[in-house]
Amino acid sequence: MGKLDQKVAVITGGARGIGREIALTFAREGADIVVADVLGMEAIAQEIRDVGERVIAIKADISKKEEVVSILDATIAHFKRVDILVNNAGVSRNATLMEMTEEDWDFVLDVNLKGVFLCTQAAARHMIEQRYGRIINIASIAGLVGAALPRIAANYAVSKAGVIRLTKSCSKELGPHGINVNAIAPGLILTEIHYSSRSPKEAELFREEEIKAMPLGRAGTPRDIANIALFLASEDSSLITGHVLVADGGRT
């Protein structure tokens, strides 16, 4: 018996990195999986089938309401319910405050914050009817302490601060309907976004500086975050809602 047997989980940004690891971890624990991403998802879908669970992959831009609605419509049509939503999809565009364009600002806020709102709203409509749900938002320690280049740009930090406040607000509104809403705030996790948003030299310098500031002395992995997400998705955390679980090796 897995911890998520007979559950249906929707995971945004599930094609790679943290989202991919969460999808695989949930599948190993018995959940049927819906992976939504703007990237190709053939590889992760096959990996989940190899685990032995059912999966559908949907290409969608979560900053667009009609595409978010299509994710949930497909989930209900295929699996008849949605039990878990992991709002993992995220982007970054690095620039100093004075060099940042309006497009840079809007793009990051639209995906990282508006996308979480749209997905939460769409999933909650079904969860309210079920009187059950688990919503897990992937935030960042940047949303707790702020950030500035050369580490992390302000638009990313602001978007994640918004996710944290949205988490707490939704937990109050949705709690009476049997829906738990929590967030995970990772520190340095070595995924594609860490390297793709920086030059190789900048990425390595950032990694070294962050690790020096961590009492545990190591960067996090996608598996670290997936294990926390599993806890928050399972009945082990049934009394926890509105919580932001920081996973940063003691950085903050």
Instruction: Write out the catalytic residue numbers.
Output: 156
Segment (H or E) for 163 = helix 154-174
How far apart are alpha carbons 206 and 90 in whole angstroms? Answer: 19
| Cβ-contact 8, 79 below 8 angstroms | yes
Which residues does 194 contact at the CB level (< 8 Å), separation at least 6? 188, 203, 206, 207
> Which residues are registered as beta bridge partners of 237?
none
Cis preceding linkage at 176, omega within 30? no
Nearest to 228 by CA among 244, 252, 216: 244
Which residues does 155 contact at the CB level (< 8 Å), separation at least 6? 92, 93, 95, 100, 104, 105, 108, 109
Look at strands 55-59 and 32-37 and give their pairing: parallel
How far apart are alpha carbons 15 and 137 in whole angstroms? Answer: 17
How far apart are alpha carbons 125 and 73 in whole angstroms? Answer: 11
